[in-house]
Amino acid sequence: MNKIIRSELLVCFLLGALTVPGFAPFYLFPIPLATLALLCHFWRNSARPRTAGLLGFSFGMGMFSAGVTWLYISLHDFGAMPMPVAVLALIFLCSYLALFPAMTGWTLRKLDIASPIVWALTAGALWALSDWLRSVLFTGFPWLTLGYSQAPLSPLAGFAPIIGVYGISLLVVLSAALLCLLVRKEFRKPLHFLPLLTLWLAGEGLQQIHWTEPEGEPVTVSLLQGNIPQDMKWREDQLISSMENYARLVLQSDSRLIITPEISIPLYRNEVSPVYLAHLAAHAKRNNGDVLVGLVEAAGGRSEYYNSMFSFGTSPEQSYRKYHLVPFGEFIPLKPVFGWIINVLKIPLSDFSRGALGQQPMNIAGQRVAVNICYEDVFGEEIIQQLPQATLLANVSNDAWFGRSIGPRQHLQISQMRALETGRYMVRATNTGVTAIINERGRVLQEAEIFTTTALHGTAQGFAGATPYVRFGNSLILGLCGILLGLAVLSAFRETRKKR
């Protein structure tokens, strides 16, 4: 490997790291356009597919190393994984994630597309497909999907209700590739600026469309933030204190809908005193509403147990079981291979059972609430399983696992994208933050101060109707990517024939 290639790999690594401020908590959405335009420049100059693949891998290593370092806190600080093992685990994960931009660069160069516009479209389609594939393989890890960087401030966010986050990934890379070609003067005429300008103006125009409409009166909500330290949450001597803490927060609220975080009471449902739950239910009834409580649900004599939310109050008791579990946190994939990790990580209840996909919204507090638990709101195609029936989205989480890192803010931005895609309010009740109320435009209307014991009181408007994304999910963007790649292959085939 010559010195020029080595220097380009280093530059691409730095470009990847510099992409992270494009995401929350910084929300500097133009940054990914600049860093990816430079990556596209290096890809355009690559002599071989292998070189383009290595450049993409280096970019990915930079982006994921800088963007998901909070996982070290989960593994080492709270999971008690030895420091060298935690570091190696992070390196392994980042290397795996970096394979996807590497695959994009390799394939783009392998196709050897001469036409600048077809090359730019192909780059966008390949990146979008790689982001989607990353969300599917091995149960998926779509964190730092490029499209999230544009929520909710970028004009490109206007495309979210139509083609979702992966579609916005395509548009970000397409924009970056067009910018690269303009700077390289491969587009020479003034009219060649039009595709890029049209794309961003179209996004701004789409933001003026109301895909859904309000239904009924706004509901008063109280989102409880217990602020229980992660290293104290499962200690038996702290149980009474935690239960009293949440009971006090519930009883201080006069909202119709009161929501506690994920497993706010670290007990099985049948272990909780009926008197305690009746006390919460009676207060909710006085408010003419309901309270949602996070508990562990046992089944089959505790041979199965679920991460669940239960409702108590005016409506009949209902529950939701978490469907998409966190690998190595809530279940161990391929136990014959990775079963030893249970003995390394000190994570309680690390073998949950999976709830059913397509559970129906809860009819509570005059709303039809689509509950999703923690990591589940990273998967937009699963969230829409409860739509368009649901009028309101609710995410409950325990981001204390991330400590005082950028992780919780990144998670908030993911919830903002779900609100944009569905045209629904998203209310978030978390243990340590970010507890927030997000409107159907993806804007944070209210948020609680992180790492404080508090309740966020506000109102949430229910919405009816279905965005194109709710109706078709990811099929629109996957179909578009298929068409664009078909055109790319056809263009590459024609170029090959010309050279003959």
Catalytic residue among 12, 180, 374, 481: 374
**Cα Dmax for the chain:** 83
Calculate the CA dihedral of residues 227, 230, 236, 240 and round it to 10 degrees: 0
- Please check whether residue 480 is in contact with residue 125, taking contact to mean a CB–CB distance below 8 angstroms: yes
Specify whether the backbone of 221 is left (phi greater than 0), alpha (psi in -120 to 50) or beta: beta
- Please check whether residue 301 is in contact with residue 403, taking contact to mean a CB–CB distance below 8 angstroms: no
Peptide bond into 434 cis (omega under 30): yes
- Does residue 40 have an active-site annotation? no
Rounded to whole angstroms, how far apart are CA atoms 137 and 198? 34
Q: Nearest-CA neighbor of 35 among 55, 65, 5, 6?
A: 55
Catalytic residue among 8, 262, 297, 421: 262
> What type of residue is 77?
D
Q: Nearest-CA neighbor of 171 among 148, 143, 144?
A: 148
For residue 457, give the H/E element and its range.
Answer: strand 454-460
Rounded to whole angstroms, how far apart are CA atoms 393 and 416? 11
Catalytic residue among 12, 322, 421, 481: 322
- Does residue 304 have an active-site annotation? no
Question: What is the DSSP secondary structure assignment for residue 431, as one 8-state letter?
Answer: S
- Please check whether residue 360 is in contact with residue 449, taking contact to mean a CB–CB distance below 8 angstroms: no
- Does residue 262 have an active-site annotation? yes
Beta bridge partners of 310: 293, 319
Rounded to whole angstroms, how far apart are CA atoms 130 and 132? 5
Q: Which residues are catalytic?
A: 262, 322, 374
